[in-house]
């Protein structure tokens, strides 16, 4: 199997509501998963531009780019092409500005707002949970409380 490197960028999109901080997650029905929005850079795009574009496409939300939340790395196999990928995903804190989750693209079956602690419980992958926890610390430092 060949080994290739892949890079993506995405965001933790939040909004403050009367009931607390909410995080937007992207879901699939089969197999059932909840994920953070992320994707691959287009040619010439910066990671920040990629993160904003992917968030808009996958969630239907326009967001204000905040600080980096760091990155996660993982391996996955694409057996049809006999390739093993080492992927690094860079995440950014993003505050919802406008848009509507009903206008997400078809990459995911649904997008939902979750209260912060419910988002942590819903996420499928532990490495994305760590990113959301970092995001919540950063949000609290901004004086927003969940």
Give this prediction's pTM.
0.93
Say what the pLDDT of residue 16 is.
Answer: 95
Q: Which pLDDT score is estimated for 146?
A: 53
Rama region for 53: left / alpha / beta (φ>0; ψ in -120 to 50; rest): alpha
Residue % of the chain over a pLDDT of 70? 98
What's the confidence (pLDDT) of residue 144?
62
The band of 46, judged by pLDDT with boundaries at 50, 70 and 90, is very high
Residue 141 pLDDT grade (very low, low, confident, very high; cuts 50, 70, 90): confident
pLDDT confidence of residue 1: 84
On average, the pLDDT of the chain sits at 95
């Amino acid at each position: 199997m060949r080994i290739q490197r892949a890079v993506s960028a995405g965001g933790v999109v939040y909004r403050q509501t009367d009931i607390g901080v909410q995080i937007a997650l992207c879901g699939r029905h089969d197999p059932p998963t909840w994920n953070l929005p992320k994707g691959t850079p287009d040619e010439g795009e910066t990671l920040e531009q990629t993160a904003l574009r992917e968030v808009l496409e996958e969630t239907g939300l326009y967001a204000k780019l905040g600080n980096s939340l760091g990155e996660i790395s993982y391996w996955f196999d694409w057996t049809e092409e006999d390739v093993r990928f080492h992927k690094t995903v860079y995440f950014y804190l993003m505050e919802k500005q406008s848009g509507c989750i009903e206008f997400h693209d078809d990459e995911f079956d649904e997008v939902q707002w979750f209260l912060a602690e419910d988002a942590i419980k819903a996420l499928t992958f532990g490495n994305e949970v760590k990113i959301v926890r970092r995001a919540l610390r950063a949000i609290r430092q901004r004086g927003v409380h969940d």
